[in-house]
Amino acid sequence: MSARTGILYLVSGPSGSGKTTLCRRLSNEDEASYAISCTTRKPRPGEENGKDYFFLSIPEFQNKIATGELLEHAEVHGNFYGTLLSEVLNKLEAGVDVVMDIDVQGAALVRESKHPIIQHSLVDIFIMPPNAEELRKRLTGRGTDSQEIIETRMRNSLDEMEHWPKYSFRIVSGSHEEDYIFFKALLHGERLRISRHI
Amino acid sequence: MSARTGILYLVSGPSGSGKTTLCRRLSNEDEASYAISCTTRKPRPGEENGKDYFFLSIPEFQNKIATGELLEHAEVHGNFYGTLLSEVLNKLEAGVDVVMDIDVQGAALVRESKHPIIQHSLVDIFIMPPNAEELRKRLTGRGTDSQEIIETRMRNSLDEMEHWPKYSFRIVSGSHEEDYIFFKALLHGERLRISRHI
């Protein structure tokens, strides 16, 4: 196969859609490279700086916004999250596929990016839970959050789900295994797109 | 998964690319329905009318052109080949994916079709042999044709290969199994495209 530019695989979906599991597996199987996000939230136990996230202070984060170093950024639950443009471009130009696990606001900013490499590379997909009942079950199933947090997350998830028509592709979640087969097939299919070959 | 319109999977590639094997397997595995072509060439031993082709006389074929019943038609090696528009539309509207094993002239006519369902459904892919040496090996390997016919087919194949940049997707043929995995992945990925869901 001839050389090609990388795909920017932009993956959104509410909490409980299973999108993070899909993205991690894609990265673990070396199908795509995880775009490490920046965040101002505090590290959770076991999270490593530069691996799970780049953990930044609020002033550091605001400086990166000001200097145009971020491809996208958003505030979620009181914390900032964002992605370094350089982190993504370097990989795409080297022909590496990049997977971004991103909320709907962030995805909208990436779509609005005028950078030609970003525009050329973008494949956006929305992962949906099959229905509200299953979503509630998945959000409750974690067992780590209070009922109030679950209700807030449920409302946020349902709000976030309304954004699916802005995406090019959609998976309605079935089993983890099924979802992953479709998720990977789409990436493999997009690799065959002639406009990516250089 | 919600209801969707079918995909028109338009597959071209020179003799020796393996495209016919790919299309037949897709059909055999019920992933897509073969669009049966019309042709004026004589049936080969074992070929059945209405299964392998609709075998037509030249006047019958010309009548179908005149009445606009053909989605595409072309003359290849002195024979006419074509596809009934109704054959394709009925399947697409029923949500069935249609695979068309078609030469580059025919594919160009399908692309030019103004029919909105055809335009909406189209996914075109070009299958290429890895290189000229391997192509010659594959064309010779059949062992059923004279050297002169092989040379003609070789020239035709090399000419046909120049059309690949008109397609959206391309597979550079490796093993049959590898080719098929990519070929199916692309179809499965395209099924997730939101614009197909109704």
ipTM over 0.90: no
Long-range contacts of A113-121 (CB under 8 A, 24+ apart): A113/A71, A113/A72, A115/A71, A115/A85, A115/A89, A117/A5, A117/A89, A117/A92, A117/A93, A118/A8, A118/A71, A118/A88, A118/A89, A118/A92, A120/A5, A120/A195, A120/A196, A121/A5, A121/A6, A121/A7, A121/A8, A121/A92, A121/A196
- Residue B116's pLDDT is 94
Task: Classify residue A2: in a domain, yes or no.
Answer: no
What does the pLDDT look like over B35-74, one tens digit per residue?
Answer: 888 999 999 999 999 888 999 999 999 999 999 999 999 8
Q: Is A40 annotated to bind ligand?
A: no
Q: In what order do the strands lie in the sheet with B70-76?
A: B53-55, B37-39, B79-84, B70-76
Identify the helix (H) or strand (E) that includes residue B39. strand B37-39
**Where do runs of H (alpha helix) occur along B11-55?**
19-28
Compute CA distances B150 → A155, B10, B12, whole Å.
66, 26, 19
SS3 of residue B88 by DSSP: helix
Report the residue from A172, A191, A194 with minimal CB separation from B168: A194
Backbone angles phi, psi at A127, to 5 degrees: -100, 125
- Residue A140's pLDDT is 86
**Full residue range of the structural domain in which residue B83 is found:** 8-196
- Residue A16's pLDDT is 86
Contact criterion met (CB < 8 Å) for A182 and B170: no
Report the residue from A167, A169, A193 with minimal CB separation from B169: A193
Q: Between helices A176-190 and A19-28, what is the axis angle to 10°?
A: 60
- Residue A96's pLDDT is 96
Rounded to the nearest 10 degrees, how much is the dihedral formed by the CA atoms of B10, B32, B24, B117? -30
Q: Is the pLDDT of residue B107 over 60?
A: yes
Residue A43 DSSP label: P
Which positions in chain A touch B187 (Cβ < 8 Å)? 189
- Residue A2's pLDDT is 58
What does the pLDDT look like over B6-42, one tens digit per residue?
Answer: 999 999 999 889 999 999 999 999 999 988 889 999 9
Select from A181, A73, A56, A71 the least CA-distant residue to A173. A181
Average the pLDDT over B110-137 and give the result. Answer: 93
Please give the Cα distance from A75 to A82 (Å, whole number).
9
Report the residue from A1, A169, A197 with minimal CB separation from B192: A169
User: Residues of B marked as binding for ATP?
Assistant: 13-20
- The pLDDT confidence band at residue B184, using thresholds 50, 70 and 90, is very high
- Residue B185's pLDDT is 97
Residues of chain A with pLDDT under 70: 1-2, 142
Task: Classify residue B162: in a domain, yes or no.
Answer: yes
Question: What are residue B76's DSSP bridge partners?
Answer: B79
Number of domain units in chain B:
1
Q: Is the pLDDT of residue B167 over 70?
A: yes
Task: Classify residue B191: in a domain, yes or no.
Answer: yes
CB A170 within 8 A of CB A130: no
CB A100 within 8 A of CB A35: yes
Which positions in chain A touch B188 (Cβ < 8 Å)? 181-182, 185-186, 189
Select from A168, A72, A175 the least CA-distant residue to A125. A168
- The pLDDT confidence band at residue B1, using thresholds 50, 70 and 90, is very low
Q: Is A13 annotated to bind ligand?
A: yes
CA closest to A188 among chain B residues: B185
SS3 of residue A118 by DSSP: helix
Count how many Cα atoms sit within 13 Å of the Cα of residue B179 in the half-sphere of its side chain.
Answer: 24
Contact criterion met (CB < 8 Å) for B192 and A2: no
Contact criterion met (CB < 8 Å) for A197 and B170: yes
Task: Classify residue B2: in a domain, yes or no.
Answer: no
Specify the CATH number for the domain of residue A96: 3.40.50.300
Task: Classify residue B1: in a domain, yes or no.
Answer: no
Task: Classify residue A3: in a domain, yes or no.
Answer: no
Contact criterion met (CB < 8 Å) for A189 and B190: yes
Residue type, A55: F
Please give the Cα distance from B59 to B80 (Å, whole number).
11
Question: What are residue A10's DSSP bridge partners?
Answer: A100, A124
Please give the Cα distance from A104 to A197 (Å, whole number).
29
Which positions in chain A touch B165 (Cβ < 8 Å)? 194
Question: What are residue A170's DSSP bridge partners?
Answer: A126
Please give the Cα distance from B156 to B105 (Å, whole number).
13
User: Residues of B marked as binding?
Assistant: 13-20
Which positions in chain A touch B197 (Cβ < 8 Å)? 170
